[in-house]
Structure 1
Amino acid sequence: MKKYILFIFVTVALFSAKAQKPVVYDYSQEVMYAHLNATLFFPGEYLNYKLYCLDKEKNKLSSLSTIAYVELIGASKETVFKHRVRLEDGKGFSDFFIPTTLPSGNYKVVAYTQWMQNTGVADVFIADVQVINPYLSEKLKTTKSTPLKYTLNTKLHFQNSNKEHKTYAKIDVKLDKNTFGKREKVAALLVNNIAELGYGSYSISVRKVDEIPTFETPKAQIINKENFRKNGLLTPNAMLAPEREGYFLKGNILNTSTKIPASNIDVAISIPGDDFYFSVATTKLDGTFSFTIDPDFPGTSAILQVLDKQNYLYSIYVHENEAVDYSSLDFDDFEIASSLENSIINRSVYNQIENGYYSVKPDTLIAVAPSNSFVRYEKGVTYNLDHFKRFPTMTEVFTEIMKIVYTAKGNDGAKVVKVVERKFAKPTDDLAMLFIDGVFIPDHAAFLAFDALKVDKIKFVRNGYVFGKTDYQGVILVTTKNKDYKPSNGHSFCKENELFLPNTQKQYFQQSYDDVTSETLNRIPDYRLQLLWQPNMELKSVEEKVEFYTSDVDGIYKIALEGFTRNGTPISSETYFTVTN
């Protein structure tokens, strides 16, 4: 008995020693900049952001990571929201709607890639923002005067704007006048003073300057200089890999009774759907597995299954994403001057009215072509079962309708499903791959027991495939009438996991008062504070016109251009104008 215990102890120790050996990836470090549309938000408003991920060595937009993460962190270090964002050539964008349940206070917007997490918070983008929620008034702490550290003199900004543009700028934002009426068309001209050297990726925000003192919006030029001076050190422990081709889903397999990591075990993942996702990973010595999922797969949940004849011996555990340590973040005290009451009330009313008319001013989702399953373009034959006599069992369907598919006895004597490779081919020991609504079915007995009257159509492919340690001959794809198949729950070796999907990108609404739309829109209130948010602009000329319309809200507005040239040069340019009656 003692020898047995000692053997187990030594084995576990060896597993641990090998599992803790660091994995080293030889890639350049990344840094992140996020262009925010504002730093002060009310319920009913959107926090818009555009991400720029840069290669720290090349000082250009990075092509390494395809996934980024954006979080809003509260003063108690809790995460308000966490987004997974697609990056294409180092760029991505999304937004967060401020709910009425979010308390007033100081928050931080944090943006990073998984690769950046290896250096802690050194290269992570962090920006201070504020939320004022008048609907949770008990949370507000008022003071008679405005805290000086947040003082913002909007008139000074406006007066200096013309002076700033008299000096040389790489890219200028120019207007033909500084004052506009309500619902008037504004044509801003982006003047690229450095020709091809100014070509690059940019984002533009046109928004009313806050009357309420708040934080300055971070600029690409300033952030770029600060981050490139930092020298984050890679962590000495196991390194997080960059998400180069999609996002990771990680986990581990343990022996259910002994809790010992199960190595060299195949694990299958299925993301159901018409264009389903399927892959197989083999566990490492420490029992861990990892899948890289294409962000364009639209499925919301994944089915994980242990592929082993004794699968009942094992349990699947899915890992949470590695969290960033925010313990070192500092937050200033949050106070609101009582003199700002009217400004807060007016802005809240504007937001309520705007949200009431959202149906006529909607943003639209940008459709993404879904990724295809591994058999999407494979030649096959499809049978619509309503075109044939209906049979209650799958065995009868194969026998009476699909002559190329047949059942036979497996090595253990149980009935299995096979697909003939080609005419006159000798029978093979390789089994067919079985799917119902995109879910892999490793148990052939369970597949044959499925109610055939629920099936809409069956497609079979005669090609051979290798997944994990198993060779397969042919694929059988069953589509049910309701397309809602799920395997039975309650087994430790089969686990359904909700996916943390990347945010869907939007085409943001742009108000227009041209001759076609003005008759309808003239009767609708227009209290927009954000006149334009254009996150995905590519500058490819020496001049680019940007047009938008003012709203019914008078005041001072800022046009802010942020971004990076193709050579990685940060660009920050802005100008101001006034809207009056």
Structure 2
Amino acid sequence: MKNRLIIHILFLILASAIVGESQSIGTNLPEEKVSLITDRTLYIAGEKIHIAAFVSNDFNRFEPGQVLYAEIISSTGTSFSKSKLSVLNKEASGCLEIPEDIVTGVYYVRAYTKYMRNFGPAGYAYIPVKIVNPLSDDVLNGSDNSVFISPTQGHSFSDKFEISTDKNEYAPRESVNVGITNLRLSSAAVDRVSKVSISVIPEFAFSDFTLSLQASDLKSAITYYPETRGVSLTGQLKETVSGKTKPDNRINLSIIGEGRDYMATQTDTAGRFFFSLPAYTGRRDLFLCTAKDDSTLKQLLVDNDFCSLPVHLPAAQFNLSSEERATAYRMALNVRIQHQFDKETLQCPRPFENDMRAFYGTPSDVIRLDNYVALPTLEEYFNELAGAVNVKKKNGHKYFKILGTQPEMSYYDPLVLVDYVAISNPDKILTATPTSIDRIEVIKVPYVKGDITYGGIVSIISKKGDFGGIDLPASGIFINYLFLSDTCRCKISDKTIKDMPDTRNTLYWNAEFALDDKEKGNFSFSTPDTPGRYVIVVRGVDGKGAEIKQDWIFEVKDNKQ
């Protein structure tokens, strides 16, 4: 409980510090920046785009946001794939899945934090990518003839690193040993590079194209706070008719199904609410409602978790050089062969998240209705059985009371849940048919959730998960919400299987390759079955925020040649 309180206080300090600073310096809110890296810039429909990002800010006292939002978009901002990635030690990595039915064309991978949305899309990180769909003749033709995205060749990046291999030519499925050395090693912290991203890809599958957009005006007001505690859900409560905001109203949020949980928060003076969600992966069903289902019609407005503001990026015309066309052809064959053999290059042990336990743990009492003589109403089960919960009445309204030995139980109201959704109207709950209810779980001691203390918990579980036919609060809304993306699906394995083709288009990818104290490192990988020239690309960010890049070319020759 103490840890929860400390975290809550720290969040309030962060919010007040940012707002206070913006008021004192006029239009100069502290900014956040993302440096974005992809394994390639040429892809085939149905592949994954592997990404790495380095997040920095000038908050000084606080770490950057802990969630990175990544998308594949068109030049007009239409989104084709989305991902939420966890940021740890200012670094994030993961992947974006390219739809198999996407039209051939030039697209953009973009990344940003929620706090960066205060400054608009111009401040996000963008990388243009070419995507080829060999199964469709349609092409997303651009209208901007002045923008050309050409593949990078040779050692044209920088002299920051030296890359070496044990030889320059290899046979298929042969091990390649690589060494990396920083040629400008410095004791100054700002010049040091502790981690880099490394990709090994076909030649002409990478374009070093820099996109610079006109910066947005600096903001003096903050709408989106840094997500310092993981994925968040934010929104605003308004009156339906007048549109007026509703401050100081309690909002309940329930996670239904896997990872079932409940949390509550109060709206601020502007009627806005903020929930910090658990570190789950994938999509989950949420139910939001106001705590009081009174006669005033209220409307819950939930912010879009991804940026929905219009953006106009250079609409580059899609064209492939003869070298790119040959590379894309070989890559498309690899993807086709992979589908034929159903060979997955990703090795992903699934984390155990199928936890169906309730957030409150083991209940004090459990009343299973089928163990008792059938009674006509649910209220009679509470009052007739020798349990810890009674239904009482005051001023014509019924309410639940949990009998406990601790004094706090007498002046805190209990949290009443139906299939883990909080319902404040006992009359609605008691209309449930007893035959539809499986059990009633009770917590007989004070329970603290967030910054709210409850006089115990009454949790009613239906047999079919249908809330026992009870009408849920009229203000409530269901949302299928994306939590963190499953980054284990983004790993690449070079473990080959005999008599199975090796169809990797990205031979090696390490988003966060760690260098030693002397800024050196070694790694190895195996060559594929596809002959040709391949490039080892090393990229990263130094202590000054400057991007560093270096490459090295080797060749895979077919033994039969």
TM-score interval for Structure 1 and Structure 2 normalised by the shorter chain? 0.7 to 0.9
Cα distance in 1, alignment partners of residues 177 and 300 from structure 2: 58
Q: Is the 8 A contact 2:338 2:344 kept in 1?
A: no
Deviation for aligned residue 1:471 = 6.0
Deviation for aligned residue 1:481 = 4.8
1:496 pairs, out of 470, 474, 478, with 478
Q: Which residue pairs with 1:420 in the alignment? A: 403
Deviation for aligned residue 1:554 = 0.8
2:31 pairs, out of 7, 29, 41, with 29
1:562 pairs, out of 536, 539, 553, with 539
Deviation for aligned residue 1:235 = 1.6
Q: Which residue pairs with 2:492 in the alignment? A: 509
Q: Are residue 573 (structure 1) and residue 550 (structure 2) matched?
A: yes
Deviation for aligned residue 1:122 = 5.1
Q: Is the 8 A contact 1:105 1:131 kept in 2?
A: yes
Q: Which residue pairs with 1:200 in the alignment? A: 194
1:538 pairs, out of 514, 522, 526, with 514
CA-based RMSD of the aligned residues comes to: 4.1
Cα distance in 1, alignment partners of residues 59 and 265 from structure 2: 33
Q: Is the 8 A contact 2:201 2:506 kept in 1?
A: yes
Q: Which residue pairs with 2:5 in the alignment? A: none
Deviation for aligned residue 1:453 = 4.4
Q: Which residue pairs with 2:40 in the alignment? A: 38
Cα distance in 1, alignment partners of residues 195 and 439 from structure 2: 47
Q: Is the 8 A contact 1:273 1:437 kept in 2?
A: no
Structure 1 runs not aligned, ≥5 long = 1-21, 514-520
Alpha-carbon deviations, 1:412-437, whole Å to 9, x = none? 333322211218x6983643212233
SS at match of 1:189: strand
Give the letter for the 1:116 counterpart: M
Structure 2 runs not aligned, ≥5 long = 1-17, 23-28
Give the letter for the 1:502 counterpart: L
Cα distance in 1, alignment partners of residues 68 and 359 from structure 2: 30
SS at match of 2:482: coil
Task: Kindly report which structure 2 residues correspond to 1:331-350, keeping only aligned pairs within 5 A, or say none.
Answer: 331-336=315-320, 344-350=328-334
Task: Kindly report which structure 2 residues correspond to 1:127-206, keeping only aligned pairs within 5 A, or say none.
Answer: 127-139=127-139, 149-152=148-151, 154=153, 157=154, 160=155, 169=160, 171-191=161-181, 194=185, 200-206=194-200
Gap change, CA 1:263 and 1:217, over 3 Å in 2 = same
Alpha-carbon deviations, 1:44-70, whole Å to 9, x = none? 322110111013476x9x822111212
Give the letter for the 1:422 counterpart: T
Gap change, CA 1:71 and 1:439, over 3 Å in 2 = same
Size of the alignment, in residue pairs?
526
Q: Is the 8 A contact 1:185 1:549 kept in 2?
A: yes
Cα distance in 2, alignment partners of residues 140 and 289 from structure 1: 40
SS at match of 1:352: helix
Q: Percent identity?
A: 19
Deviation for aligned residue 1:467 = 7.3
Q: Which residue pairs with 1:107 in the alignment? A: 107
Deviation for aligned residue 1:32 = 0.8
SS at match of 1:300: strand
Q: Are residue 477 (structure 1) and residue 453 (structure 2) matched?
A: no
Cα distance in 1, alignment partners of residues 466 and 523 from structure 2: 47
Deviation for aligned residue 1:150 = 4.6
Gap change, CA 1:253 and 1:464, over 3 Å in 2 = same
Q: Is the 8 A contact 1:559 1:574 kept in 2?
A: yes
Q: Is the 8 A contact 2:66 2:88 kept in 1?
A: yes
Gap change, CA 1:442 and 1:299, over 3 Å in 2 = farther
Give the letter for the 2:35 counterpart: Y
Alpha-carbon deviations, 1:111-148, whole Å to 9, x = none? 11122233335542122211122322142779xxx999
SS at match of 2:228: coil
Q: Which residue pairs with 2:444 in the alignment? A: 462
Q: Are residue 288 (structure 1) and residue 264 (structure 2) matched?
A: no
Q: Which residue pairs with 2:526 in the alignment? A: 549
Cα distance in 2, alignment partners of residues 115 and 468 from structure 1: 23
Q: Which residue pairs with 1:209 in the alignment? A: 203
Gap change, CA 1:93 and 1:366, over 3 Å in 2 = farther
Alpha-carbon deviations, 1:195-251, whole Å to 9, x = none? 98656333221111127xx63266xxxx9xx99xx9875224444322222333233
Q: Is the 8 A contact 2:74 2:107 kept in 1?
A: yes
Q: Which residue pairs with 1:517 in the alignment? A: none
Gap change, CA 1:202 and 1:395, over 3 Å in 2 = farther
Give the letter for the 1:136 counterpart: S
Alpha-carbon deviations, 1:268-287, whole Å to 9, x = none? 11112464332223334443
